[in-house]
Amino acid sequence: MVFSSLEFLFLYLPATLLLYFAVPKKYLQWRNVVLLVTSLIFYGWGEPVYVFLMIATILVDYVFGFLIDKYREAQPKKAKGALVAAVIINLGILGVFKYYDFVVSNLRLIPGLGGLPMLNLELPIGISFYTFQALSYVIDIYRRDARVQKNPATFGVYVTLFPQLIAGPIVRYKDIDEMLRYREESVALFASGIRTFLAGFAKKILLANIAGEIWSAQAAIALGKRTVVGSWLGMIFYAFQIYFDFSGYSDMAIGLGKMFGFRFLENFNYPYIARSITDFWRRWHMSLSTWFREYVYFPLGGSRRSTIVNIRNLFVVWLLTGVWHGASWNYVLWGFYYFVLLVIEKQVLLKKLQNTPAFFQHLYTLFFVLFGWLLFVFEDMSAGVAYLGNMFGVGAAGFASQLDAYNILRLLPFITICVVACTPLPKRLFYRLYENHMWVKVAAYAAGVFALVLGVSYLVNSSYNPFLYFRF
Amino acid sequence: MDKRPEKNTEQDIILDIQLRCAKKARLVDLLTIFTFVFALFATAILFIVLPDKTFSEQENRALQQFPKVSYYDKPLGRLLDGSFTLEFAKYYADQFPARDFFVGIKGMAEIALLKQENNSVILGRDGYLITRPPEPDLSTLRDNIDPIRDFASLMKKMNVPVTLAIAGRTYDVMKKYLPETFPKTLSDELWEYARYLAGQSKDLLYINLADPLRAIAESSRASGPLYYRTDHHWTTLGAYYAYAEIMKAWGETPAPLSEFTIEAASDSFYGTTWSKAGLKWIKPDTMEYFRFAGDEDFITEIKDTGKSFYGFYDRSYLDKKDKYSSFIGGNNGRVDITRAGSEKREKLLIMKDSFAHAMIPFFAMHYDLVILDLRYFSDSVSKLVLTEGIDRVLIVGNMENLTQSVIYRILGYGADEALAAYIKYSYPIRDIQVNGNSIAGYTIVYPDKPGYAEAAKTLHDAILERTGFDLMMEASAEYDKFDRALVLADTGIDIDGLIKITVEGDCLYFRSTAPDGITGVVNLFLDTYIKNGTGAFNFPEGYIYADLVNTDIIAIMP
């Protein structure tokens, strides 16, 4: 199930809220059990078979967490063994389901290995997210950053918690440890959760989906018929789509979390206002960057050792970041692209960049981020190269068409909304006034109602499908 | 108290502000929660309580019902393979309370955002709803016109003239209603290609109905709109002008407009584009019938259902949303229209999509009509032309349909059979047998006799040239050892110039006493069945007749 579906909003969510708040506040353990069961249903709705795989993951990490905790003081070697085993099992499952076919399809190119079998397994939804969460648990226990969770149901809630299950944010165990044991739902938090959820809902339905349609239309244009302007327009809308989609989903997750008394860390911090690539990655998908920093980059030595080691560490982290996004060469290349950019920035460019006008810094960042998305979106790299060519006039059907002019004109208001929504301006203005002006609070309320009604309209419309050619 | 996570972002600070001033904001917060929770629960309850609908008039389609949980043989099967939840999502969306209301909200929002269109329907001037033309699909158009052209050539041999008239979409004709900024020439290439495709054969008369109608619409000649504002069809007036164009192209005189009395059949016609656009404030169209003296004497007979009625109009549709279907009772596979008690008139076969419906009464004034919609008709049209004694064929299609689905490929069905029957009266015929699958992988085997090597070489080269298959050639007397072979043999009938092709096992046999005959018939055979280099030829079981001395014709006979 996804948040942006009618059956989630108007069937699953009310049922879950009802069950959750029907349990008296003092029985938090039982509220957690409700969350576990409803989260499993949430996951099983889309993945009726793989839900068992997830339950297996929970059990494995629960047991290993328990073992690590038990041996940590007395027999550190055993504890380390348990940690290594847990890491291998988790990554092994991820490897089999996500990367096996990719690796094998490449190995097959080697003469003599052509007969290696493919598994053709479908990718379990959210496996990259929940595997990383599960890993964070055993590692945090091992590092004594968090206490062991003796209650398997409570631990299960951590892994399966439906708000962040499918698309993050990736919650580190130590950040949520306390909340699993004690948390306070409140009117203010719940209302704030609704606002955050609806903001994310609007981003996803009203911005990302529409931007996505415009991008898809451009991407679908036959080879040789795309114009230069059209291909830039398409790419820019893809950038809007991926940001609003992902950050919208994170907002919905954070908002839902608040309704149940959880506070997740922010996942996005206006990445498109970044002034450098380094800055961009401090703002984009922060929970993933944090995860890699804490569990890969720092253990490898981070930046505190020699330049060479530092570059190696960056290389490892960015290769992994690339591969984490998908089992395909373009993601590897995408990771490598950012590795190169970040190393250049770190070694040379960043200091020089600071002396340039802010406008240039933004332009520079957006330019390279846009080409990053080009690498990211085309799994078929020859199509990506063709698209890139179109952006610079190679193989394009001219600079611009009348249709481009029509589209740009009619999309101008929407583009403006997207641009403004990428900046923190509206929110800053809003909250500066929020504290002291009643009308702003009322306006926030009205905006929420507006977002809900409009979002639902777009959702309903997407299933609205007049059938013109049967008996017509 | 719980330990707060570190405040690392603006959002967290903002959250703190919100919580700090929680008291002041409490009323708004409570209202927020109440509204949200109420909306969730009220909708959920409404959804459960309201009865499921089976059909949507707005969308003209059946709505998804509650999906089955299990197959009869495996309980939970649909739960486990995910098909239950997929269908449930459709079910939920289809049965969502106040669906049409929300669709309207979305339409308003899109137009309010100045997007000028919604659900691919452009909001033009004067409330014209114009379907945005999709990227032209040239290959589908070709796959429709190619068989029409072949059909015309076949009909030419049977002395039946064929006309293809392509109707424009609202976009093509009502350009003056498009928004200023919308490009007007998006489909020029498509129309040019249609003209080119149809022009490949002199046997086909091609009429572009978009250009003349646009000229009329943009002049002051037209007394009303030629296309509906809310529907993708032309109006009855538009259909009249189309009819007049076709008649003129045939050298006939159309009935003048003054001969008709206009009856307003409905002033609340909301058509398909209105449904699709979701712009609920757009006013309905008026639908007219052009009545003439004696039009109630005509009998419209829907062959699919056996239903028939006097006149051209099934007025029961006027009470429904789908009012356009009142013309000749909507889309059916075959409809015949004759005038009761009249002398025998010329018989016109019309193959069409729904655009033709409004035009039918006009043609019925001049011809007895057999009307086919090949989307719902699967017999051999050529056979029907013979058995019904058709004098003239008219194919009317809207450009949108011709570029969206391949409709006319079935015109080839049974074409040869019909022609065989037709020429059986005219020519002396002998028989040839044919069967086979893909020609690739066959070996050409020929008798080790003078002349045959040359014939086999001709066959080999012809196949190579047309299909790219480089077949093996072998001279041999023993044909049995080949699994797949084209065998040139000299058994069979001993008349000069005649060839026999038979199937024995998996093999294909060409037989003749005259090596030159083989060349001729093989070329014809390849021309007819393996052209375009597809390399596959599947024949119905039966015979090919050929008389190489007198005619150029191969035909299949059951």
Sign of CA dihedral B61, B65, B69, B70: negative
Q: Quick one: which of B488, B514, B513, B517 has its CA closest to B501?
A: B488
Domain count, chain A: 2
Asked if A193 and A73 sit in the same domain, the reply is: no
Q: Cβ contact (<8 Å) for A406 and B324?
A: no
Say whether B489 sits in a helix, a strand or coil. Answer: strand
Alpha-carbon distance B211 to B514, whole Å? 55
> What pLDDT was estimated at residue A468?
45
**Within chain B, which residues score under 50 in pLDDT?**
1-8, 423-438, 489-519, 528-558
Kindly state whether residue A399 falls inside one of the protein's structural domains.
Answer: yes
Q: Which of B17, B94, B278 sits opposite A434 (nearest CB)?
A: B17
Say whether A375 sits in a helix, a strand or coil. Answer: helix
Determine the distance in angstroms separating the CA of B109 from the nearest CA of chain A, rounded to an integer. Answer: 8
User: Looking at residue A379, what DSSP letter applies?
Assistant: S
Q: Which of A198, A464, A465, A467 to mutate to test the interface with B (most CBs of B within 10 A)?
A: A464
User: Looking at residue A228, what DSSP letter applies?
Assistant: H
Q: Cβ contact (<8 Å) for B330 and A471?
A: yes
Task: Show which of A183, A214, A245 is a domain's final residue.
Answer: A183
Asked if A220 and A160 sit in the same domain, the reply is: no
Kindly state whether residue A375 falls inside one of the protein's structural domains.
Answer: yes
Asked if A134 and A195 sit in the same domain, the reply is: no
Q: What is the pLDDT along chain A (472 residues), one digit of tens a residue?
A: 888 888 899 999 999 999 999 988 888 889 899 999 999 988 888 778 888 888 998 999 898 888 888 888 888 888 888 888 889 998 998 888 888 888 888 888 887 777 777 777 778 888 888 888 889 888 988 888 888 888 888 888 888 888 888 777 888 888 888 888 888 888 888 988 999 999 999 999 999 988 988 898 888 888 788 899 999 999 999 999 999 998 999 999 999 999 998 888 888 999 999 999 999 999 998 888 888 888 888 888 777 778 888 888 889 999 999 988 888 888 999 999 999 999 898 888 888 888 888 899 999 999 999 999 998 888 888 888 889 998 998 888 888 888 889 989 999 999 999 999 999 998 888 878 877 777 888 888 898 999 999 999 998 888 766 554 433 3
Phi, psi (rounded to 5 degrees) for A318: -80, -30
Residues of A annotated catalytic, as ranges = 325
> What pLDDT was estimated at residue A166?
78
Strands B507-512 and B554-557: unpaired
Q: B510-517, long-range: CB within 8 Å, 24+ apart, which pairs?
A: B510/B459, B510/B486, B512/B488, B515/B451, B515/B452, B515/B454, B515/B455, B516/B455, B517/B548
End-to-end CA distance of chain B: 91
Asked whether B236 and B358 are in contact (CB, 8 A), the reply is yes
**Length of chain B (residues):** 558
Alpha-carbon distance A136 to A153, whole Å? 17
Task: Show which of A183, A206, A221 is a domain's final residue.
Answer: A183
Alpha-carbon distance B523 to B507, whole Å? 19
Say whether B208 sits in a helix, a strand or coil. Answer: strand
Sign of CA dihedral A189, A190, A191, A192: positive
Reduced to 3 DSSP states, what percent helix, strand and coil does chain B have, rounded to the nearest 5?
40, 20, 40
Asked if A170 and A195 sit in the same domain, the reply is: no
Sheet hosting strand B121-123, strand order edge to edge = B117-118, B121-123, B129-131
Ordered by where they begin, the domains of chain B are: 1-45 (no CATH), 50-97 (no CATH), 126-424 (no CATH), 431-557 (3.30.379.10)
Asked whether B379 and B385 are in contact (CB, 8 A), the reply is no
Chain A residues within 8 A of B115 when measuring between CB atoms: 410-411, 413-414
Q: Which two tokens stand for residue B274?
A: 């209105």
Q: Which of B99, B135, B330 sits opposite A222 (nearest CB)?
A: B135
Chain B residues within 8 A of A458 when measuring between CB atoms: 106, 109
> What pLDDT was estimated at residue B97?
86
Asked whether B508 and B537 are in contact (CB, 8 A), the reply is no
Helix axes B515-529, B452-467, angle to 10 degrees: 10
Q: Cβ contact (<8 Å) for A472 and B186?
A: no
Alpha-carbon distance A158 to A146, whole Å? 13
R_g of chain A computed on alpha carbons:
24
Asked if A360 and A241 sit in the same domain, the reply is: yes
Alpha-carbon distance B509 to B487, whole Å? 5
Kindly state whether residue A395 falls inside one of the protein's structural domains.
Answer: yes
Q: Quick one: which of B265, B266, B284 has its CA closest to B274?
A: B284
Q: Which of B21, B34, B40, B111 to mutate to test the interface with A (most CBs of A within 10 A)?
A: B40
Amino acid at the residue B346: E
* Vertex B462: Cα angle to B456 and B464 (nearest 5): 100
Q: Cβ contact (<8 Å) for B9 and A265?
A: yes
Domain of residue A288, residue span: 189-421
Kindly state whether residue A439 falls inside one of the protein's structural domains.
Answer: no
Asked whether B226 and B174 are in contact (CB, 8 A), the reply is yes
Asked if A92 and A195 sit in the same domain, the reply is: no
Q: Cβ contact (<8 Å) for B183 and A403?
A: yes
Asked whether B179 and B256 are in contact (CB, 8 A), the reply is no
Asked if A212 and A148 sit in the same domain, the reply is: no
Kindly state whether residue A287 falls inside one of the protein's structural domains.
Answer: yes
Phi, psi (rounded to 5 degrees) for B437: -120, -135
> What pLDDT was estimated at residue B452?
66
User: Looking at residue B227, what DSSP letter applies?
Assistant: B
Alpha-carbon distance B509 to A112, whole Å? 44
ipTM: 0.86
Q: Quick one: which of A286, A323, A284, A317 has its CA closest to A303?
A: A317
Asked if A15 and A142 sit in the same domain, the reply is: yes
Q: Give the DSSP letter string of B65-130.
A: PPPPSS-SSSTTHHHHTSHHHHHHHHHHHHT-TTHHHHHHHHHHHHHHTT--EETTEEE-GGG-EE
Strands B368-372 and B334-339: antiparallel
Asked if A345 and A323 sit in the same domain, the reply is: yes
Q: Which two tokens stand for residue A48?
A: 């009726």
Q: Quick one: which of B376, B374, B370, B362 has its CA closest to B389?
A: B370
Determine the distance in angstroms separating the CA of A330 from the nearest CA of chain B, rounded to an integer. Answer: 29
Asked if A215 and A169 sit in the same domain, the reply is: no
Total-model pTM = 0.78
| Burial (Cβ within 10 Å: 0-12, 13-18, ≥19) of residue B365 | middle
**Length of chain A (residues):** 472
Asked if A179 and A87 sit in the same domain, the reply is: yes
Residue A182: HSE in the Cβ half-sphere, 13 Å Cα cutoff = 4
B386 torsion bin: left (phi>0), alpha (psi -120 to 50), beta (else): alpha
**B49 and A CB contact within 8 Å:** no
Phi, psi (rounded to 5 degrees) for B62: -75, 140
B468 torsion bin: left (phi>0), alpha (psi -120 to 50), beta (else): left
Residue B306: HSE in the Cβ half-sphere, 13 Å Cα cutoff = 0
Q: A17 forms bridges with which residues in the sheet?
A: none
Residues 6+ apart with CB under 8 A from B376: B304, B331, B332, B333
Q: Which of B106, B122, B231, B325 to mutate to test the interface with A (most CBs of A within 10 A)?
A: B106
Q: B264 forms bridges with which residues in the sheet?
A: B288
Determine the distance in angstroms separating the CA of B537 from the nearest CA of chain A, rounded to an integer. Answer: 32
Give the pLDDT confidence of B131-156 residue by residue, as tens digits.
988 887 888 999 999 999 989 988 88
Q: Quick one: which of B35, B37, B108 has its CA closest to A449?
A: B35
Q: Which element (helix H / strand E) includes B371?
A: strand B368-372
> What pLDDT was estimated at residue B419?
62
Residues 6+ apart with CB under 8 A from B252: B366
Kindly state whether residue A434 falls inside one of the protein's structural domains.
Answer: no
Phi, psi (rounded to 5 degrees) for B493: -85, 140
Q: Give the DSSP letter string of B491-547.
A: -S---TT-EEEEEETTEEEEEES-HHHHHHHHHHHHHHHSGGG--B----SSEEEE-
| Burial (Cβ within 10 Å: 0-12, 13-18, ≥19) of residue A342 | buried
Asked if A174 and A302 sit in the same domain, the reply is: no
**B11 and A CB contact within 8 Å:** yes
Say whether B291 sits in a helix, a strand or coil. Answer: strand
Cα dist from B309 to B247, B320, B337, B372, B455, whole Å: 26, 19, 10, 18, 62
